[in-house]
Amino acid sequence: MKQNYFNNADFKRYSLYALGEMALVIVGILIALQIDNWNTERVEQKTLDSYLNTIARDIGQDLKAIQPVRLAREAAYEVSLRSNNFSRRGDSYTASEMALASRALEDALRAHTFDANTSGYEALKSSGNLDQMRGSDIETLLYDYYDTVQRISHSERRYNEYNRLLWLQILSAWPGDMLRWEIASPQALTGERLRSIQPAFRQLLEDITTQELYTSSTLVGPLLLDYETLDTLGRAFRRMIEKGIVNFDETTLALLDSIYDPGSGNGYPNIIVDGQVSWQSYYLLNSDANDPRVSSSASDSNGASPFYTESFQRIGDSLHIDYLGGVEWAGIWFGIGVSSMDYWSLDYSMFDKLLLEIRGDVGGETVHLNLEDKDDPLDGTSTKVSLQLTDEWQTFEIDLAEFATADTKILSVPLGFVFYEEPVSFSVRTAKYVKTD
């Protein structure tokens, strides 16, 4: 009986020992698995970081590559606008007006294409490491960036092909008594030859297809907005990679909140920045008392325009405006949208002031500003605010309440320059809406 007791005690002792050994083995295996998982995750994270850094470098190249494309489209917009809106009215065109019209045609025809570097992004998708980002803010940001790339690519192909087809139609109907080089280099022509091709040149400019090609250069607002959006998304992504974060911080959110959404109902605050008009959100309209399109009394005048092709142009980092004077009234207005056919309104009531950075050519000039809402009658009765300029840059912050007749909740013209008999020349570097609180 005693022997059996010891046998049972030994068995229990050895069983406990065996169980302990087994537990140690299991714990060791679990620890080894945990270490292996940790090593795997570390390797996968390192691999993902490598892909993200590659994408960040690719995006950096994209942001550099897109700038000349955007600048070229903005320049084509301005040239077309100057040729169409600011040529002197009359029976004949000057050599400079012909040269500008030719340049507008050439710029409209030139295909501009942004080719994004997607190699890093495609490699990440093929690697399977994209799942590691699931649910993070940086994943959403990456998708938004490359969705915008695809949208830009589609728009550019459509735009370039449309212009190419228009040009082929223009060539097929080209006036037979005018050579193509003659409108490109009218300064090389004799006075007699310049006069003789005036009818052919007018026929070319008034052709509906030519007008469509000119107009197409001024309908790139949505594309310009996509360029701007891509730039902001790209800078936000690169910042997150530099900071080593996968979810938005306050600075990144503020950057992304600056992306303009036309469907928001709010107005775009920047009208002119460094002399560049924000054509992605605004169009231009100019008229005067001698303009037969808007004034019935113009038929009693000689129809001379107080504007000419150099009246509106970006020079360096400022927009130069030169008004010749001599008419009862004239104006240059920036409307909301991409063409005068839009004529809709947006809400600017969240802003307090209109900020302008402006200077006169010689000093002493008076510039009259106005704003118009969608219900304002087109009779010139809207409130004007006058600024006295010097030949040095000045910054004016104008309280929006000074524009008494303009309802800032439904503005259709957020900036206008109104002129009277006296000539005036000045430059604008900045025009934007600001909040003061």
The residue ranking higher by pLDDT, 129 or 427, is 427
Q: Per-residue pLDDT averaged across 176-197, rounded?
A: 92
- For residue 136, what are the CA distances in angstroms to 143, 145, 335? 11, 15, 40
Q: What's residue 291's pLDDT?
A: 84
Q: pLDDT tens, 42-62?
A: 556 688 889 999 999 999 999
Per-residue pLDDT of 100-139, as tens digits, reads 999 999 998 889 999 999 999 999 988 888 888 888 999 9
Helix (H, G, I), strand (E, B) or coil at 336: strand
Q: Give yes or no for residue 17 having a pLDDT over 60.
A: yes
CA dihedral 10, 15, 20, 22 (to 10 degrees): 140
> For residues 84 and 413, which has the higher predicted lDDT (pLDDT)?
413
Segment of 3-12, 118-127, 203-212, 419-428 carrying the highest mean pLDDT: 419-428
Domain ranges of the chain: 1-259, 268-437
pLDDT over 90, % of the chain:
71
The predicted-structure confidence for 289-319, as pLDDT tens digits, reads as follows 988 776 655 544 557 889 999 999 999 999 9
Whole-number Å distance between alpha carbons of 26 and 24? 5
Q: Which are the contacts of 77, defined by CB distance < 8 A and separation ≥ 6? A: 217, 218, 220, 279
> pLDDT tens digit string along 239-267?
999 999 999 999 999 999 999 998 899 99
Task: Identify the residue with better confidence: 134 or 378.
Answer: 134
pLDDT given for residue 342 in this prediction: 63
Q: Among residues of the chain, what percentage have pLDDT more than 70?
A: 86
Residue 332 predicted with pLDDT over 60: yes
The more confidently predicted of residues 131 and 351 is: 351
Instruction: Give φ, ψ of 423 to 5 degrees.
Output: -70, 155
Confidence of residue 40 (pLDDT cuts 50, 70, 90): low
206 or 116: which leads in pLDDT? 116
* pLDDT on residue 160: 94
How many residues appear in the chain? 437
Kindly tell me if the per-residue pLDDT of 24 is higher than 70: no
Least confident of 28-37, 220-229, 289-298, 320-329: 28-37
| Block residue for tokens 């907005």 | 225
Q: Does position 36 have pLDDT exceeding 60, yes or no?
A: no
Which position has the higher pLDDT, 154 or 206? 154
Burial of 300 (0-12, 13-18, 19+ CB in 10 A): exposed
pLDDT, tens only, 403-412: 999 999 999 9
Q: What is the dihedral of CA 372, 374, 379, 381, to 10 degrees?
A: -40
> Rounded to whole angstroms, how far apart are CA atoms 162 and 174?
18
Q: What is the mean pLDDT of residues 201-227?
A: 92
- Please give the angle made by the CA atoms of 380, 430 and 311, to the nearest 5 degrees: 60
The residue with tokens 């010689």 is 362
- Report phi then psi at 421, rounded to 5: -65, -35
Residues in Cβ contact with 184 at an 8 Å cutoff, skipping those fewer than 6 apart: 99, 102, 106
CB atoms within 10 A of CB 126: 9
What architecture is domain 268-437?
Sandwich (2.60)
Beta bridge mates, 432: 270, 355
Instruction: Read off the pLDDT of each residue in 93-105 and give the average, rounded to a whole number.
Output: 92
